[in-house]
């Protein structure tokens, strides 16, 4: 590929937004490992923190619609700077809350700011990433979000153990503030700049000057592809929303195996990160989606349906595997605990089996994000994409919030009948069942997606000729 100023701007902008997506999810990843510490410090029930986390997710999703609509109407650079300032300040203030009311208020404002990242980031990236690589490169954006959550979880476990639960929030807020400086150097791409049908238009210096109108929202919601993608994301996120409780499950399982609480918190954070290794295959599945899409309009959809379905039995098997013969020393030294955990994974057959099942489960799950993002992009016109994504993201957020809230409720229902950590295991297994309707939604989508893909192509070609 020829090195040009445009390519350099594109690479830099993509890097900034991919890194920002990681930081965004690091904020969300901070909470689960700190649930027990925050609950003790603020003297509240740990289940309340599930509601706080769900509130943050829901507000983030609702606010992203407003950010997305504004992004489809005009300039996006200024919007992302404003949003980042809002969430950075709110996260910093979270570190100084003294009661649950303050915690909720600061997390609401954090959600308002965070809402800009997903919608505006998606809009900018879809205008830079070439269509033939859309699934593969969008996987980097999705992958960064997953590993951002892991990084937040690990950092929270290590830093909070060495200091207290408030310090990780201060660190993330400072990192967020640093991104404000990076934004000043990004180059906003032309609307629809990555569409093959508009390439001649862009190269000749013309602008694709179509923008969203309020009347378009009804069309977005009525489009059949959008409907099934939204339904699919809703069911998928009920399950994935509960996965942020995995560190809490692992802490309980380690303590049940005789590991001291401090070491259990550190080990759980590391184990949560290690068991997500399969998520790296997101890039490969994004590439496969691009490849299958060239052969058939149904290719990307059917690949996603199969992988989402396979994730369900693999996760359930991972939860059922017992953790026997665990030998992790009582230490607050993160390196000592990490080395002991690695030894267990390598030498303990139960831990090794859990590790391989987790790789399979997270790999199968990872196929969803890049291909879902590519489908949202390909079936909607450039001026409607940020808003469409934001609406779908809102429904995804509702699904995640439902998963968070109802996990606490289901956990309480199971607790009288199952001792800890079996109660956590049974609860997590119950929520994996939502992978099934998620997969079925993809199957229904397969019969609708071809029509909407052809409509977008023909509309762009017609508009390019008209201009």
SS3 percent helix, strand, coil of the chain, rounded to 5, is 80, 0, 20
With 0.85 as the threshold, say if the pTM is over it. Answer: no
Q: Would you mind telling me the total number of residues written for the chain in this entry?
A: 467
Q: Which CATH architecture has domain 10-198+219-466?
A: Up-down Bundle (1.20)
Would the pLDDT of 54 be above 50? yes
Using only C-alpha atoms, what is the Rg of the chain? Answer: 22
pLDDT at site 440: 96
Torsion sign, CA atoms 51, 56, 62, 65: negative
d(C-alpha 142, C-alpha 453), whole Å: 22
Would the pLDDT of 1 be above 50? no
pLDDT at site 162: 57
pLDDT at site 253: 86
Q: Are 26 and 148 in contact (CB under 8 A)?
A: yes
Would the pLDDT of 434 be above 70? yes
Would the pLDDT of 426 be above 70? yes
Would the pLDDT of 293 be above 60? yes
d(C-alpha 158, C-alpha 262), whole Å: 10
Mean of all residue pLDDT scores within the chain: 84
Strand, helix or coil for residue 213: coil
d(C-alpha 177, C-alpha 287), whole Å: 34
Residue pLDDT, tens place only, 354-374 = 889 989 999 999 899 889 988
Ordered DSSP codes for 281-306: GHHHHHHHHHHHHHH-TTHHHHHHHH
d(C-alpha 26, C-alpha 172), whole Å: 8
pLDDT at site 237: 92
Q: Which of 202-206, 212-216, 327-331 has the highest mean pLDDT?
A: 327-331
Check residues 371 and 212 and name the one with the higher pLDDT.
371
Check residues 103 and 187 and name the one with the higher pLDDT.
103
Q: Which of 18-27, 219-228, 388-397 has the highest mean pLDDT?
A: 219-228
């Amino acid at each position: 590929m020829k090195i040009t100023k445009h390519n350099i701007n594109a690479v830099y902008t993509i890097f900034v937004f991919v890194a920002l997506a990681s930081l965004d999810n690091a904020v969300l990843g901070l909470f689960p490992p700190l649930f027990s510490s925050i609950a003790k410090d603020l003297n509240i029930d740990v289940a309340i923190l599930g509601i706080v986390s769900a509130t943050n997710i829901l507000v983030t999703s609702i606010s992203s619609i407003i950010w997305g609509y504004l992004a489809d109407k005009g300039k996006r650079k200024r919007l992302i700077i404003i949003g980042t300032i809002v969430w950075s300040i709110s996260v910093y203030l979270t570190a100084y809350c003294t009661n649950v009311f303050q915690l909720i208020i600061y997390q609401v404002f954090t959600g308002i700011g965070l809402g800009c990242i997903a919608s505006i980031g998606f809009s900018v990236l879809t205008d830079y990433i070439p269509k033939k690589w859309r699934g593969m490169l969008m996987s980097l954006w999705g992958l960064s979000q997953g590993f951002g959550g892991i990084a937040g979880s690990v950092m929270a476990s290590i830093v909070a153990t060495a200091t207290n639960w408030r310090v990780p929030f201060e660190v993330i807020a400072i990192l967020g503030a640093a991104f404000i400086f990076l934004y000043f150097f990004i180059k906003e791409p032309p609307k629809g700049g990555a569409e093959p049908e508009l390439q001649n238009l862009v190269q000749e210096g013309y602008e694709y000057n179509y923008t969203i109108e309020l009347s378009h929202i009804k069309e977005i919601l009525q489009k059949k592809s959008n409907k099934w993608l939204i339904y699919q994301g809703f069911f998928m996120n009920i399950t994935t929303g509960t996965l942020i409780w995995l560190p809490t499950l692992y802490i309980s399982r380690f303590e049940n195996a005789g590991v001291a609480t401090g070491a259990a918190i550190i080990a759980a954070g590391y184990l949560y990160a290690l068991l997500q290794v399969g998520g790296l295959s997101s890039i490969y599945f994004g590439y496969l989606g691009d490849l299958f899409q060239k052969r058939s309009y149904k290719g990307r959809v059917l690949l996603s349906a199969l992988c989402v379905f396979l994730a369900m039995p693999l996760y359930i098997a991972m939860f059922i595997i017992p953790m026997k013969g665990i030998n992790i020393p009582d230490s607050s030294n993160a390196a000592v605990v990490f080395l002991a955990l690695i030894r267990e994974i390598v030498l303990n057959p139960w831990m090794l089996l859990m590790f391989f099942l987790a790789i399979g489960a997270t790999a199968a799950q990872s196929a969803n994000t890049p291909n879902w993002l590519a489908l949202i992009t390909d079936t909607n016109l450039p001026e409607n994409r940020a808003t469409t994504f934001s609406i779908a993201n809102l429904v995804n957020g509702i699904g995640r919030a439902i998963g968070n809230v109802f996990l606490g409720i289901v956990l309480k229902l199971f607790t009288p009948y199952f001792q800890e950590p079996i109660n956590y295991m049974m609860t997590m297994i119950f929520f994996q069942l939502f992978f099934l309707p998620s997969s079925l939604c993809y199957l229904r989508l397969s019969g609708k997606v071809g029509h909407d893909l052809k409509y977008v192509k023909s509309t762009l070609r017609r508009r390019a000729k008209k201009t």
